[in-house]
Amino acid sequence: MRNSLLLALPVLLASCNMEPALDKITSPVSESYTGNDGSGGVPADIAWQKFFTDPRLKRLVAIGLENNRDLRVATLNVEQARAQYGISRSQLFPTVNVSGSGQRSRTPGTLSQGGTAVEAKSYDVSVGVTSYELDLFGRVRSQNNAALEQYFASDAARVGAQISLVSEIANAYFTERSAVEQMELSQRTLNAVSETYDLTKMRFDAGDVSELDLRSVDVQVQTAKANLAAFQQRRAEANNAIAFLIGTAVPSNLPSGRGLEGGLVSEVKAGVSSQLLVRRPDIREAEHQLRSANANIGAARAAFFPRVTLTGGGGTASKSLGDLFQSGSTAWSFAPQISVPIFDGGFNKATLDVAEVRKQIEVARYERSIQNAFREVSDGLAARKGLNGQIAAFEGLVNAQQKRFDLADARYKQGVDSYFEVLTAQQDLFDAQASLIQLRLSRVVNSVGLYKALGGGW
């Protein structure tokens, strides 16, 4: 048996590979992004700990990465794929078993030829190889390569889940921050109109103003109360979303958070589109899926060729336990088997066709992943430029509306204009301030989205 294995070893090592060559896929997008003006202070591969500058947000993200259940599932999927690869890889090696057995039997005289009872004993110890396939045409190795690429794909999916979780926590936190600012704005507005209402009520009681003015101020008071209640609800919902994403209750000892205009994130540089191929986990996942499908073609091709399996063993056997390891007790067996496909009803041909079609599907998915990534980055860059312009304009609008309100309020108190001018100016000022908060929220959400689209720094 040893000589046979030595003779088979060169053949085994020289087994061919029937996987088709995987040609390089030309990126279906241009090298530069639409709307990329080169702005941004840090590279896109910066770690999230440095990308986020708000200490409260950093703590929330760290808790989420440790406790989020979806991320745990993604991590366990990687472990499952790794174990599956181990199962596939084990088929490249022979299964060697050590076995020992003993048997004693007695045949009564009525059943024996001599008419006397016969007792028999036998003992054996052996080392054997069970149905080991010589992978002459690379079928097993191709299956192993496919399993390895699936493992790599699952790990890329885990990284993608991490990036998505980080961005979702950040967006929920930004929503909570915007709700706080909207609450503060509503509270300031409510305080101001409540004070105005008290003064108007005194003037109404004195007969200086009409009931229409009084009711107009009352409308402002009730509107401000409704706005405050709505933003309190929004903040509570945002906190619930944060608790769900981090996988536990929001701790009470978190650091203080910053406002939306306080520099919550860093501005990233876009770079060039080819960097997405190594940064984006969804593109890497699609690439590994493509390589796995390509390896399956090799396994399907090898199924058309003969399969050679070896079964054998060697050891010692004797009729008595004491003579088991004595000279002359050697026993061995060697049973090679070859299987040649002749007729299978088109099964192997159909299997190969399926494998080739799946490869083409994965090629299309890979190209689509690149196109989608390019679109997301280009959209993010365009939105960043547009939002910066809108925020600058609305900051000027808020200043102008504030001056308008101050003038209208002064003229009303001097009896020059009616309260309608004050009412209109107050509402326009509130709308401009609320819109500015919403734009600042959109800007930080856009920054996180762009950071994610560029690969997330993992």
Every domain of the chain and the residues it spans: 2-92+136-305+352-453, 99-134+310-340
Beta strands in 137-294 (DSSP E): none
pLDDT score at 322: 66
pLDDT score at 305: 86
pLDDT score at 6: 45
Place of tokens 């299997």: 351
Do 2-92+136-305+352-453 and 99-134+310-340 show the same overall fold?
Answer: no
Instruction: Kindly report each contact of residues 20-29 with a partner whose C-beta sits within 8 Å and lies 24 or more positions away, as own/partner.
Output: 20/294, 20/297, 20/298, 22/290, 22/291, 22/294, 25/363, 25/366, 25/367, 27/273, 27/274, 27/277, 27/370, 28/367, 28/370, 28/371, 29/273, 29/370, 29/371, 29/374
**99-134+310-340, what's its fold?**
Outer membrane efflux proteins (OEP) (2.20.200)
Q: How far apart are CA 57 and CA 451, in angstroms?
A: 16
pLDDT score at 262: 78
Question: What are 431's two structure tokens?
Answer: 């709308």
Q: Which CATH superfamily is domain 2-92+136-305+352-453 in?
A: Outer membrane efflux proteins (OEP) (1.20.1600.10)
Question: What are 165's two structure tokens?
Answer: 């979780």
Question: Is residue 149 within 8 Å of 295, Cβ to Cβ?
Answer: yes
Q: Which uninterrupted H or E stretch holds 313?
A: strand 307-318
Q: Looking at the DSSP assignment, which residues form a beta bridge with residue 312?
A: 129, 334
SS3 334: strand
In tens digits, the chain (458 residues) has pLDDT values of: 455 544 444 444 445 778 888 877 777 777 777 777 777 778 888 899 999 999 999 999 999 999 999 989 988 989 999 898 888 888 878 888 888 777 887 777 777 777 777 777 777 777 877 777 888 888 889 989 999 999 999 999 999 999 999 999 999 999 999 999 999 999 999 998 898 889 889 988 888 888 888 898 899 899 999 999 999 999 999 999 999 999 999 999 999 988 998 789 988 888 777 778 778 899 999 999 999 999 999 989 888 888 888 888 877 877 776 666 777 777 778 888 888 888 888 998 999 999 999 999 999 999 999 999 889 999 999 999 999 999 999 999 999 999 999 999 888 878 787 778 888 898 999 999 999 999 999 999 999 999 999 888 76
